[in-house]
Structure 1
Amino acid sequence: MTSRKVIELFYDVVSPYSYFGFEVMCRYRHVWNIELILRPAFLGGIMQGAGNKPPGLVPNKFLYMTKDMTRLSEYFGVPLEAPANPFEAMFEKGSLSAMRFVTAVKEKEKGGDKQVEQVSRELWRRIWKEDKDITKPESLSEAALKAGLSNSEIKELLELSTSKEIKDKLKGATQEALEHGSFGFPMMVCHVNGKPEMFFGSDRFELMAHCIGEKWLGPQPNLSAAKL
C-alpha cells in the first residue's frame, strides 16, 4: 500500500493568493493521496526575514495584482473582492492578531484542522469579500462564531492568543517557513519519501502534482472523475 504524502500549507489570511492556494489544497485533500497540514504563519515576518518587498511598494506590481485577483477569483471559483483600501488592509493594519488567533485555534484543536480551516476561511471572507476588520477582538469573535465556535470557546481562544506560548508558536512557524526558503505566501512543502520540496504561489499546482506523482485536474476537480 502506498503511503500518504504529507503537504504542509503555510499561509496568512491577509494574503489573497494564500486564499486561492488554501481553497485549492482543501479541495485536493480529497482527491490526491495526501495528508494536508495547515500551518498558519505571519506574512509580515516572512517579508522582513526574506528581505522581500510588499506589492504595494512597487506601483506596477500592485496595479497588476488588483487585476490578477479578479481573474483568479473566477478561475478558482473563490469569491473575492478587493477592500476599498487594500494597502491599508494588508500592510498598515496587518494580520498579526488574526494569525495569533488562528494559531491558538490550531493549538487547542485535537485530531485535525477542521476548526482551523473554518476560522481561517471566515477571516479571509471578512477581509477579501466583506471589507471588514480582522484586527480587533470583536472582529475575530464574529469570524469564529460564523465558523461554528461557541462563545465560551472564543473567549478562551482570545485569551490564549495573547499568551507568550502562542506568540512563540507563530514565530516558530514563521521561522520554519523561512528555513524552507519562503519569501512569501502561500507556500506548500511536500514531503515525499522523506524529502521536502517547496513550492511557492497559487500557480504551481500542476508542477507540484507532477513532482509528487499525482494528477492535476484543474482548480475545481470533479471528485467522481478523480476516482476513475
Structure 2
Amino acid sequence: MKQITCYIDFVSPYAWLAFDQAPRTLEGVSYELRYKPVLLGALFKQYDNPGPAGIPPKREWTYRHATWLGHAQGCGLQMPMQHPFNPLPLARLALQCSDDGFINRFTADTIFRHVWLGGLDANDPARMEQLRQVLSEQIRPDSENEAKALLRANTEEASARGAFGVPSFDVDGKLFWGLDGLPMLRAYLGGDAWFDNGQWDAATQRPSGLG
C-alpha cells in the first residue's frame, strides 16, 4: 500500500475540488491518503509568487473556473463572501484535532464544506464557533500552541519537499501538484511504465533559455 501525503490549505478552491475528486480518480489502487494543512501564502512567498489572487484577470478566471468545476464534478463550490481570506484560524483549528500534523478526512471535509459551500464568510465568528462545536469531540484540550507549531512544521516540510502550491501529493519522493495532477498520480500508483523511462528525472535537467 502506497502512503500519500496531501498538503492542503482550505483557502484554495482546487484543494477542495481535489479532495472531493481523489477517491474516484484513485479507485482500484492500494493507497492511504493522509492530509497535512499548510499555509499556501508561505509557499507562494518562497518563490515571490503573488498567486492567482494577485493577478486581477487570473483571479477572475480562477473564480469562474473553480465554480464551474464544482458544478461539473457535482460537489458544488460557491466562492466565499471574501476571497482570499486569512486561512490561519481554520488551519490552526484543524490541527487542534491532530497530534502529529495529519488530520483525518472528516476534519478536512467539515472545514472544506464550511468554506466552499454556501458562499458565506469563512471567518465569521459565529460560523467559526459553530464549526468548533462540530469538531469538538476531536479537538485536543489545550492544543492551541501545539497547533501553531504543527502548522509551521507542516509548511516547512512542504517547502523542503518542493511544494509550491496546493494540493500537493507526496508519494515515494515524487510530488504531484493540483487537481489536474490526479490522473498522473493515478497512473504512477497503477504502475505506468512511463515513470521508469527517465522522463520524470529529465524535467530537472532541462537548461533554461532565460537570462
| Secondary structure, counterpart of 1:39 in structure 2 | strand
Q: Equivalent of 2:56, from 39, 55, 59?
A: 59
**Given the superposition, is the C-alpha separation of residues 52 and 96 from structure 1 closer, same or farther in structure 2, using an over 3 Å criterion?**
same
Does structure 1 conserve the Cα–Cα contact (< 8 Å) formed by 2:166 and 2:178? yes
Give the SS at the match of 1:74.
helix
Structure 1 residue 57, shift from structure 2 partner: 1.5
Taking the aligned partners of 1:167 and 1:138, their CA distance within structure 2 comes to 22
Query: Structure 1 pair 203/30, CA: closer, same or farther in 2 (3 Å)?
Result: closer
The letter for the 2-side match of 1:85 is Q
Could you tell me which of 30, 33, 37 is aligned with 1:33?
Answer: 30
- Report what 1:186 is aligned to: 167
Structure 1 residue 61: deviation in Å? 0.7
2:150 — aligned with what? 169
Q: Distance in 1 between matches of 2:38 and 2:93?
A: 11
| Counterpart amino acid of residue 161 in structure 2 | H
* 2:177 counterpart residue number: 200
Instruction: Go from structure 1 to structure 2 and tell me whether the alpha carbon gap of 1:171 and 1:71 turns closer, same or farther (over 3 Å shift).
Output: same
What is the aligned partner in structure 2 of residue 102 from structure 1?
94
Q: Indicate whether 1:118 and 2:106 are aligned.
A: yes
TM-score by length of 1: 0.74
- Residue of structure 2 equivalent to 1:160: 143
| TM-score, scaled to structure 2 | 0.79
What is the rounded CA distance, in whole Å, between the counterparts of 2:166 and 2:175 in structure 1? 11
CA distance in 1, matches of 2:73, 2:64: 15
Alpha-carbon deviation of 1:137? 6.2
Contiguous gaps of at least 5 residues in structure 2: 193-211
Tell me which of 109, 133, 137 is aligned to 1:145: 133
Matched residues in 1 for 2:131 and 2:26: separation?
24
Number of residue pairs the alignment of both structures matches: 192
Deviating beyond 6 angstroms after TM superposition, the runs of 4 or more aligned structure 1 residues are none
Q: What aligned pairs does 1:55-94 form with structure 2 within 5 A after superposition?
A: 55-86=52-83, 90=84, 93-94=85-86
